[in-house]
Amino acid sequence: MKTVLITGTSSGIGRAAVLKFQKEGWNVIATMRSPEKETAFNVLDNVLIVALDVQKIQTIENAIQTGIERFGQIDAIVNNAGHAVFGAFELTSEEQVSKIFDINVYGPMRVLRVILPYFRAQRSGVIINISSQGGRVTFPTCSIYHATKFALEGLTEALAYELIPFGIQTKIVEPGSTATGFVGAAEITTGQIPAYEEFIKIGLGNWAKYDTMTSLPEEIADVIFLASTDKSEKLRYQAGKDTELYVGKMQEGDDQAYVRYMRERFIPEYLAK
């Protein structure tokens, strides 16, 4: 019986992933910041709930140790926990920048530092890093969020080469817009610069207007499970119809045509007349 450890399972995609792996017969180490609040996973067979805050290395060490003691070994890790800050970069505080990088980039790095010695010793393991279509393409008003997901993509792509000698597989799952509380929980920058306020209103307004291709978290969980089990060399797994549109447009190859397309779609008010 295989075992997966997933971060950020209190809600959304992480929660759906716990249920998917459990249903498929895996042991699941369901980690979250506040396990005392969890009431549903406790009754599921082969699900171990453990405290893990990706900003605190000791909780990661403890969760991995506890999971191995309970299930014998860990076969896959899903770095899912994430945070969003939306708005103009100039309006983003140092604290907001530090926090989002600490959760979205340094968090998965901390998890990797702890799990890699185990994976190297057992000469196997699958790492699934949950990026975003926002790790491949950018949308107006999400600059600092994109910076974190582009960083995670670069790290993961390079690791996919680096870890080959140890039999460790490294994968990226890129969800598109997904019906979770993620956007609602995002920090929105506030500022006193009217031109930015207008820009953000237009950018977010057009985003909402086109946001009609939203996936369910269960659909993303299916893709995470596929990436964990298909044993292929495939690196990137797009998850969601909107990723096909935006990443597909970018992959058509004409970089300036793609940038023009995104400007026309999301901020037409700012096109040169």
The residues of the shown chain that bind ligand NAP, judged by CB under 6 A, are 7-8, 10-14, 32-34, 53-55, 80-83, 103, 130, 132, 175, 177-178, 180-182, 185, 217
- CA atoms of 92 and 81, how far apart (whole Å): 21
**Measuring CA to CA, which residue among 91, 93, 88, 85 is closest to residue 200?**
88
Whether 131 is a known active-site residue: answer: yes
Whether 210 is a known active-site residue: answer: no
Residue 187 DSSP label: E
Closer residue to ligand NAP (CB): 9 or 169: 9
Closer residue to ligand NAP (CB): 196 or 228: 228
Catalytic residue among 10, 20, 132, 145: 145
Catalytic residue among 10, 20, 131, 246: 131
Task: Please name the residue that has the structure tokens 């309006």.
Answer: 91
Whether 143 is a known active-site residue: answer: no
Catalytic residue among 10, 132, 149, 215: 149
Task: Please name the residue that has the structure tokens 């453990």.
Answer: 50
CB of 15 to ligand NAP, least distance (A): 7
CB of 76 to ligand NAP, least distance (A): 16
CB of 184 to ligand NAP, least distance (A): 8
- CA atoms of 243 and 248, how far apart (whole Å): 7
Q: What is the largest CA-CA distance in the chain?
A: 65
Measured at the CA of 74, the angle between CA 102 and CA 49, to 5 degrees, comes to 65
Closer residue to ligand NAP (CB): 140 or 175: 175
What are the angstrom distances between the C-alpha of 180 and each of 6, 154, 159, 177? 17, 25, 29, 9
CB of 129 to ligand NAP, least distance (A): 9
CB of 165 to ligand NAP, least distance (A): 28
What are the angstrom distances between the C-alpha of 28 and each of 75, 118, 138, 144? 10, 17, 33, 32
Closer residue to ligand NAP (CB): 83 or 171: 83
CB of 84 to ligand NAP, least distance (A): 7
Closer residue to ligand NAP (CB): 121 or 188: 188
229-257 in b/e form (b: 16+ CB < 10 A) is beeeeeebbbbbebbebbbeebeeeeeee
Residue 37 DSSP label: G
Closer residue to ligand NAP (CB): 148 or 196: 148
**Measuring CA to CA, which residue among 14, 138, 136 is closest to residue 83?**
14
Residues marked active site are found at: 131, 145, 149
